[in-house]
Copies of this chain bind each other. A is one copy, B any other.
Amino acid sequence: MEKIRMIDVANKAGVSKSTVSQYLNKRYEFMSKDTRQRISDVIQELGFKPNSVARSLKLKKTNTVGIIVPNINYSFSTAVSRGVEDYCQKHGYSVIICNSDDNPEKEHAYIQMLQMKQVDGIIISSTGQNNELLKEEIIRELPLVLLDRIFEDMEIDLVCSDHRAGAFEAISHLIKMGHKRILVVIPDEHLNSSRVSRIKGYDDALEKNGIDKDEKLIVYVSEDNIDSKIDDLFRIDDPPTAIFCINDLATLEVLTCLKRKKIKIPEDVAVIGVDDFPAANLLESPLTVVGQHTYEMGMKAAELLIRRIEEKKIDKYVQHVFPCELIVRESCGFKNE
């Protein structure tokens, strides 16, 4: 069964393919009712579906965008992607999904691939290692929206959460609950702009409350070494009484580790995580988290991207910062007022 092309429709309807093309693009002005009906019938009859690849080639427009996230498995990335896909679908775009695994080479390969595929734009939570490429090259050729990342000194559309304020509020809450020794847990060695902001919020909250910062309380962990690191920390003279997990991966690792060690939350240690996940309130100790408006952020990122794609020149770049919401549950203690 050969594919039906426009020329087949044209022949059967007894018109030229130009006319069929006009019909498809709804340029009915100079078309007789009769011709219009005939073309419509033939399209129905043959089940003709125009080839977007050919169309894209001519129009230099693919109606496709790429989204590069570290890992679709992270609750943040999943929810954001869903927001992006929803907005895109409603506006006639499809979404190619790319998982960079925070690997700069993989990210670079994806960027190249998306360019070759002639996507109309890219939404990216970048690793930070390809910033030069993005700044020097991509942004000049292709609409780009940064997601959950900030580039210093750069004019670019961007969507992120106010991580500093979110962390500030979380840490302030802990301090208000009487905590002074607050541990920050960061996965592996990778520091992106969001994590830097959260640490800034942590610092600011300590400072505002006149608490000295102890560098020992900022720890980078992996699945392999978390147990020993936590052990070490709880063995020092002045152990932490609260833990701030800087992302959902850290949260899961910390909770798993504490459970293994039978350290009770919040009796032995208070915990605050980042990103509300579906089961956060069903945990042994329902988890207090700094929530983000993930789905809305995805929608907004797609909105900014498509706006820049469709409106030829917008000079002002939009930096859309969403507030974080502290969702207080029992994991950081019961407030006694």
Q: Does A190 count as interface, using CB distance less than 8 angstroms?
A: no
- Chain B interface: which of A30-38, A110-118, A160-168, A314-322? A110-118
Q: Determine the distance from Cα of A131 to Cα of B238 in the docked complex, in whole angstroms.
A: 64
Number of copies: 2
Q: Which of B94, B98, B282 contacts A117 (CB 8 A)?
A: B94
Residue ID in chain B nearest A47 by CB atoms: B137
Contact with B along A127-146 (1 / 0, CB 8 A): 00000000001001100000
Interface bin, chain A: 35 or more
Within 8 A of B (CB), among A43-98: 47, 49-54, 56-57, 62, 64, 71-73, 78-79, 81-82, 85-86, 89, 94-98
Residues of B within 8 A of A98 (CB): 85, 89, 94
13 contacts between A and B (CB under 8 A): A1-B141, A51-B57, A53-B57, A53-B118, A57-B57, A72-B81, A73-B78, A81-B97, A96-B96, A97-B97, A279-B279, A279-B282, A283-B283
Query: Top 5 closest A-B pairs, CB basis?
Result: A279-B279, A52-B116, A97-B97, A284-B284, A94-B96
Chain A residues within 8 Å of B, Cβ to Cβ? 1, 3, 47, 49-54, 56-57, 62, 64, 71-73, 78-79, 81-82, 85-86, 89, 94-99, 112-113, 115-118, 137, 140-141, 252, 255-256, 259, 277-284
Can you add 10 more A-B contacts, CB < 8 Å, to A49-B116, A73-B82, A95-B96?
A47-B137, A51-B57, A51-B116, A52-B117, A73-B79, A94-B98, A252-B279, A255-B282, A277-B279, A282-B284
